[in-house]
């Protein structure tokens, strides 16, 4: 089956990223092709320096490719101006960083609301959206707590809620369980899968954690800036109703 534009959250074709190094160049990504279905969860694995972070940075509009195309929502963002990329990141992508990066002097609710200070919602609609997410994430009773008053798992849930505030088409996770013990890590990964699937939102999870791979729809391996192995295909995942069940 050939995936249509509505089936696809992200399509990267021939993506190359290089950096100058004197008379030579460092190749961070080497002609990467990757397609992510509209509600597909990808576990992106590989050794340090394999290109995982660069791939996610390009997918999220934080970096532009040296060559190739990056299509999100039917738009080729690889040729966007810096201003267009800023709007793209605001409207279409959610980020959950390894260190969580919550604002320490803002409550859980305020950490969600800060996203929409630069987004389309303001006032009551933004507050309603934040309260809805905190309720769904089991944090309604923690809405007024500062990050320092939250557990590691609760901080991760706030970070997930913050990433979902703009109703993105794609959420990028960077080692979301690295600071959590086994029980909390498993809880957070289950939550990620539930939240992504219930919203029909695609996700790429950069990880070294084998626990995550069991909850992903597909495992993509990277080595030396290339996708060296991808178990299954987005087209197959979209065609097979048992995938992601």
What average pLDDT does this structure show over 172-196?
84
Q: What is the full DSSP assignment across 64-104?
A: --SEEEEEETTEEGGG--HHHHHHHHHHHEEEE-TT----T
* pLDDT averaged over every residue in the chain: 85
Token representation of residue 228: 């060296």
> Tokens 């050939």 appear where?
2
Does residue 243 have a pLDDT over 80? no
The pLDDT tens digits for 107-149 are 999 999 987 655 555 678 888 989 999 998 889 999 999 999 9
pLDDT number for residue 66: 95
Contact 175/167 with Cβ under 8 angstroms? no
d(CA 108, CA 88): 25
pLDDT number for residue 231: 58
Contact 212/43 with Cβ under 8 angstroms? yes
- Per-residue pLDDT band at 245 (split at 50, 70, 90): very low
Q: Domain ranges in the chain?
A: 5-96+170-239
Contact 202/8 with Cβ under 8 angstroms? no
pLDDT number for residue 229: 67
d(CA 73, CA 14): 18
d(CA 210, CA 153): 18
pTM for this prediction: 0.83
What average pLDDT does this structure show over 78-85?
92
- Per-residue pLDDT band at 240 (split at 50, 70, 90): very low
> Tokens 């939102």 appear where?
201
Does residue 36 have a pLDDT over 90? yes
Q: What is the CATH number of domain 5-96+170-239?
A: 3.40.50.300
pLDDT number for residue 2: 44
The pLDDT tens digits for 208-231 are 877 778 889 999 999 999 997 665
């Amino acid at each position: 089956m050939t995936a249509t534009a509505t089936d696809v959250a992200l399509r990267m074709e021939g993506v190359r990223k290089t950096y100058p190094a004197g008379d030579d160049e460092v190749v961070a990504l080497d002609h990467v092709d990757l397609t992510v279905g509209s509600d597909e969860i990808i576990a992106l694995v590989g050794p340090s320096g394999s290109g995982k972070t660069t791939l996610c940075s390009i997918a999220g509009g934080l970096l532009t490719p040296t060559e190739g195309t990056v299509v999100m929502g039917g738009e080729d963002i690889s040729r966007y101006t810096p201003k267009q990329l800023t709007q793209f990141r605001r409207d279409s992508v959610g980020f959950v960083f390894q260190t969580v990066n919550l604002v320490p002097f803002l409550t859980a609710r305020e950490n969600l609301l800060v996203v929409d200070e630069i987004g389309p919602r303001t006032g009551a609609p933004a507050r309603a959206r934040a309260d809805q997410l905190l309720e769904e994430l089991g944090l309604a009773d923690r809405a007024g707590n500062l990050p320092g008053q939250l557990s590691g798992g609760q901080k991760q849930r706030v970070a997930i809620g913050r990433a979902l505030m703009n109703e993105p088409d794609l959420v990028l996770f960077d080692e979301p369980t690295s600071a959590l013990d086994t029980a909390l890590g498993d809880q957070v990964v289950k939550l990620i899968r539930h939240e992504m699937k219930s919203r029909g939102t695609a996700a790429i999870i950069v990880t070294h954690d084998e626990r995550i791979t069991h909850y992903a729809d597909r495992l993509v391996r990277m080595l030396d800036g290339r996708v060296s192995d991808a178990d299954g295909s987005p087209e197959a995942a979209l065609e097979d109703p048992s995938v992601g069940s």
